[in-house]
Structure 1
Amino acid sequence: MAGQSIPGTAELKKLDTAHHLHPFTDYKALAGEGGSRIIARADGLRLWDTDGGEMIDAMAGLWCVNVGYGREELARAAYEQLQTLPYYNCFFKTATPSPVQLAATLVDLTPEGLNHVFYGSSGSESNDTIVRMVRHFWNLQGKHRKKTIIGRQYGYHGSTMASISLGGMSAMHRQADLPMPGFHHVMAPYWYDAGGDLSEEAFAERAAQAVEDRILELGADTVAAFIGEPIQGAGGVIIPPAGYWERIQQICRRHDVLLIADEVITGFGRTGHWFGSDRYGIKPDLMTLAKGITSGYQPLSAVMVGDRVADTLIDKGGEFYHGYTYSGHPVPCAVALANIDLIRREGLVERVRDDTGPYLNRRLHEVFDDHPIVGEVRSEGLIGAIELVADRKTRARFPDMGSVGSRCRDHCFEQNLVMRAVRDAMVLSPALIATRDDIDLILERARAAIDATARDLGRL
């Protein structure tokens, strides 16, 4: 902190425990463990805490630091924009250069037909915006009954009241008496969990049919949209079986239901394509962007709006009574432009597609296919998961779902490896700059953590 001395570790921990309410945290449990580990600096894939401890970050922060830590180009873009114009809003018939330039860049990058952009500061905000846009669109079409949006079990679309309702995280619903009316959920395309003896092709048909069945149950004249992540990240890296997204799009077209692709995690190279929609041939009506848009260096999100929706809002909608103080903030938009330029210049998307993505997949199998508590490994580009199970042959889960994953996560931290547990799946999404050596080190430490977990359970 410029001009200020930073307190020592003990004082920071004390202040943090006394005053800071963290997201997604059991406060009492954290205090009982002695408080937070204080991260002081980072470079590449490495993090250092205030005691000098070094970790390798296999999660790219929260799925977002795609170009790695310590990129001077992004810091310089923010600094130069702050010196020139630190803030002005996009209300009152005004604009600033960087959000205008970024909008044109995003239109060029995203799937054909997404020709308009609405900015926010987080994926949660932008998914809230989408709910507003979808309902406004159908009202303008004179179809006032089309209000319901269908999401999926384990879907994650944010933490606002509306975005929690879009998602299918039951624990989040219970805490806030959600979802709100007008939101429904169907099964996830989670073959390992629910596929049984079905082939991937047959399971893809079953999972997609669940969407159509719900549309028919509710009445197509009441269903406004379907929302899904191309790969369900926070839900446990649920990679859809071949054919699933093709069938989903057929169903949405048949029943005149808008299709929303939430690309908050899968965007900007994570899958080895610019967007997960490119990987799976999805042609959405609306698309949510955040996280990798700035590689986490500044808070920014965007809604890409397809021509059908945008043309109606523009031609028939009048004033759109929606927006945020920081919609189109010039600083994060400048950083996003520098970030996209860096990804292009270094060929990171192609590198993930052709080299490190296939390498991660191969090494996951080599390291874990023989492990007694690993039921499946799966990956796409640089996003993957390791399923921990009680019985490899039957896919039987451990009792008290999530407890083994939490135990393994703690062993990862002991190995100075940052990985995340989702139920009993260990998930990873390293920065796109990760080398083969980085991947080897991540998986070496992950194997040590999973071995330690298996020993705790008497399985090794």
Structure 2
Amino acid sequence: MRENTAEESARLQSAAKDHLWLHFTQHGTYNDDVDIPMIVRGEGINLFDDRGKKYIDGLGGLFTSQVGHGRTELGQAAAEQAAKLEFMPLWSYAHPAAVQLAERIAGYAPGDLNRVFFTNSGSESVETAWKLAKKYFKLTGKPGKHKVISRSTAYHGTTHGALSITGIAGLKQDFEPLVPSTIQVSNTNAYRAKELTAGAIDVTDEQSLERFGLWAADQIALAIENAGPDTVAAVYLEPVQNAGGCFPPPPGYFQRVREICDQYDVLLVSDEVICAFGRLGEMFGATHFDYQPDIITTAKGITSGYSPLGAVIATDRIMEPFLTPGAMFGHGYTFGGHPVSAAVALKNLDIFEEENLLEHVRSNAQTFRSTLEKLLDLPIVGDVRGEGYFYGIELVKDRATKESFTAEESKTLLHGFISNKLFEEGLYCRADDRGDPVIQLSPPLIAGPADFAEIEQILRNVLSQASAKL
């Protein structure tokens, strides 16, 4: 396939700089001498820019591209649906694609998570779940329950409600005042367990890791008590916390959280915008870690990014009061459950089953881990952590003491060198400093050992150069 000519690329650059407002981007970075990276196509696990250069997609777009790029059958599913029924809102009416997809998602979901409310994105799913929790408790005679508990450094989205639940102060300050009634507790960063517990627990073995998990879970109970149990509606937790660098749950953590939620009649929301649809080797992260949520929020991998779609999956218990005559969840989106997006999602799930992608991830997950763990011989690499096809590599100034970089050092290291250098070397991933500096990896689920080895070699080359700069 022909890439853009030099003339076409120059025209696109000019138009992009004049008209396109990029997301989470410092636009001052791009000037007459610095071009905006222009990705024009994808194939498998690779991306190609307008000059024909190939990059490994080490982030799956944005934790999204499960089945890989260039799947023409997904485009065909979209075209066929658009020719048949291009749009119909789910406002008191239904259409077959949404019905079929809701049924299929309910079949994959654990327990009695049988009710599916469609959205367009992860942020919308998170926002919807909060409104659903508040309305549910109003209908069941507990109108004071409206507060939400989430974890430090956790990212849950950009809309005002979702951003309020997010535990990253730096992202929130520019948009305050936000929605009140959100509370943050400790995350499960086992690498920093000694700091989080004020020296009480230093994770050195499985037993101390479990103690840390129970300690972290009990912080939720303490927060509920402090806020007042009659005021807390929900706890939002990712199966593996993304921001901060992939924090898996310690053994017993989610089981203890489930007990706490049952004790205080608080809904457990499993935010699986990233972790659902194969990222951890199961359709849902809750299945992988063996816990039962009341609500699951999701998006991204449901269509592998081929069309926008999100979903909130709730238990029959949550739906029950809404079945009373006159009751209504007064909430919705024009494009939620869009026929084209639903058709794409159905075909995406067909690919999962036809190509046995879940088993592929489970079979290769340990190889991905062990390949990345080779980087631990570099002095700048403090920790490699994650699950399935979802990993974070924490960078440190001193591995022996786990000393991190200052904010200014992190900015210089990550954004001034590592991020650009990785892309230059052919790896698209994420260098993130929301918390301690990390490199995040989330390749398409079709990736295998040879791809892992290539990713590791690029990382090794760039991180070795970064180490030499310290």
Which category of TM-score, normalised to the shorter sequence, fits these structures? over 0.9
After superposition, residues 307-346 of structure 1 pair within 5 angstroms as 307-315=316-324, 318-346=327-355
Question: Which piece of structure 1 moves more, 396-405 or 79-88?
Answer: 396-405
Separation of aligned partners in 2, 1:169 and 1:207: 18
Structure 2 residue aligned with 1:288 = 297
**CA distance in structure 2 between the aligned counterparts of 1:331 and 1:301, rounded to whole angstroms:** 13
State the one-letter code of the partner of 1:221: D
Q: Is the 8 A contact 1:14 1:35 kept in 2?
A: no
Any conservation in 1 of the 2:245–2:393 contact (CA below 8 Å)? no
| Secondary structure in 2 matching 1:232 | coil
**Equivalent pair of 1:411/1:452 in contact (CA under 8 Å):** no
What amino acid maps onto 2:451 in structure 1?
A: D
In structure 2, the partner of 1:90 is: 90
TM-score (norm 2): 0.93
Q: Deviations over 1:74-105 (max 9, x none)?
A: 111001111111112222x3211100000000
What do you get for the CA RMSD once the two structures are aligned?
1.7
Q: What corresponds to 2:65 in structure 1?
A: 65
Q: How far off its partner does 1:442 sit?
A: 0.9
Aligned to 1:11: 11
- Residue type matched to 2:49 in 1? D
Distance 1:75 1:43, change over 3 A: same
Distance in 1 (alpha carbons) for counterparts of 2:257 and 2:339: 37
Of residues 359, 368, 379, the one that matches 2:367 is 359
Q: Which residues of structure 2 form unaligned runs of 5+?
A: 196-201
Whether the 8 Å CA contact 2:130–2:234 is kept in 1: the answer is no
Call closer, same or farther: CA 1:411–1:178 in 2, change over 3 Å.
farther
Is the 1:388–1:405 Cα contact (8 Å) retained in structure 2?
Answer: no
Deviation at 1:29, TM superposition (A): 2.3
- Provide the residue aligned with 1:269 in structure 2: 278
Q: CA–CA distance in 2 between the matches of 1:306 and 1:31?
A: 51
Q: Partners of 2:18 and 2:105 in 1: how far apart?
A: 42
Identify the residue that residue 416 of structure 1 maps to in structure 2. Answer: 426
- State the Cα distance separating 1:250 from its structure 2 match: 1.1
TM-score (structure 1 length as normaliser) = 0.95
Q: Secondary structure at the match of 2:115?
A: strand
Q: Could you tell me how far apart the structure 2 residues matched to 1:302 and 1:317 are?
A: 24
Question: 2:300, 2:309 within 8 Å by CA — same for their partners in 1?
Answer: yes
* SS in structure 2 at match of 1:47: strand
Residue of structure 2 aligned with 1:260, choices 245, 269, 272: 269
Asked if 1:47 is matched to 2:47, the reply is yes
Shift in alpha-carbon separation, 1:101–1:296, aligned structure 2, 3 A? same
Candidates 385, 392, 415, aligned match of 1:378: 385
Q: Does residue 208 of structure 1 match 2:217?
A: yes
- The partner residue of 2:458 within 434, 445, 453 is 445
Offset, 1:345: 0.9
Alignment length (residue pairs): 451
Contact 2:54 2:426 in 1 (8 A): yes
Per the TM alignment, residue 319 of structure 1 is displaced from its structure 2 partner at its CA by 2.7
- Taking the aligned partners of 1:317 and 1:386, their CA distance within structure 2 comes to 52
2:430 alignment partner AA: R
What secondary structure does 1:8 align onto? helix
1:266-298 Cα shifts (integer Å, max 9, x gaps): 001101122110111121111111000000000
**Which shifted more, 197-206 or 374-383?**
197-206
Distance 1:236 1:376 in 2: 10
Q: Deviation string for 1:337-393 (max 9, x for gaps)?
A: 000010111011111112x2110011112x212111111111311111111101111
Q: 1:225 to 1:163 in 2, by over 3 A?
A: same
User: In 2, distance between residues paired with 1:6 and 1:94?
Assistant: 50
Tell me, yes or no, if structure 1 residue 124 matches structure 2 residue 123. Answer: yes
What is the distance in 1 between the residues matched to 2:288 and 2:12? 44
C-alpha distance in 1 between matches for 2:107 and 2:55:
37
1:178 positional shift: 4.4
Deviation per CA, 1:414-442: give whole Å up to 9, x if none.
21101101211111000000021111111
Structure-2 separation of matches of 1:191 and 1:305: 30
Task: Please state how far the C-alpha of 1:317 moved relative to its aligned partner.
Answer: 6.1
